[in-house]
A = this chain, B = another copy of it.
């Protein structure tokens, strides 16, 4: 999510590597809560193995907002940056191996980074990248039907459909589990694969 720098800005690897010793390694089972709704995010989460989801509770039922997999990092950004209660819970979906870096070190790392020559441009690019992600999710809702959104997911991020339980995907797509099942059924009939 946020500091998923490594591929895009290889320069930064040296910075990250310096902070690796401060990370706490954890092996956790599925459905482990890494950040609870209402708590203030105190660390950055990096996923080595497994996957997690970001969700919120709405009148008793979960609404999943995003999924994260191997080599991705995440946090409840607004909570992390502004020290306010998180609107979201972060929970593992599969048994996972994760690394936690306390906020203090993240901020220190960012401060060091700020002296690099292209820091401003880099920050803006990362900011634009994250903004574009959520904007695209939003745009997809005002442009596509749930069926089209499911097909987009199937085309662009099939690993989500393969690894994530269907009711999480349903809430992410904004439909009921029943309707997602109908969509799958309809697509299976339309495009038999034999």
Q: Spell out A's residues near B (CB within 8 Å).
A: 56, 58, 63, 65, 77-78, 80-82, 107, 110-111, 113-114, 119-121, 123-128, 130-132, 134-135, 137-139, 141-143, 171-174
Contact = CB atoms under 8 A, between A and B. Distances in A.
29 contacts: A56-B139, A58-B143, A63-B139, A65-B138, A65-B139, A77-B128, A77-B132, A78-B132, A80-B128, A81-B125, A81-B127, A81-B128, A82-B125, A110-B120, A110-B124, A114-B119, A123-B127, A126-B127, A127-B127, A127-B130, A131-B131, A134-B134, A134-B135, A138-B138, A141-B141, A142-B171, A142-B172, A142-B173, A142-B174
Nearest to A124: B81
**How many monomers of this protein are in the complex?**
2
Nearest to A137: B138
Nearest to A130: B131
A65 B138 CA distance: 8
Smallest CB-CB A-B distances: 6 pairs: A134-B134, A127-B127, A81-B128, A142-B174, A141-B141, A137-B138
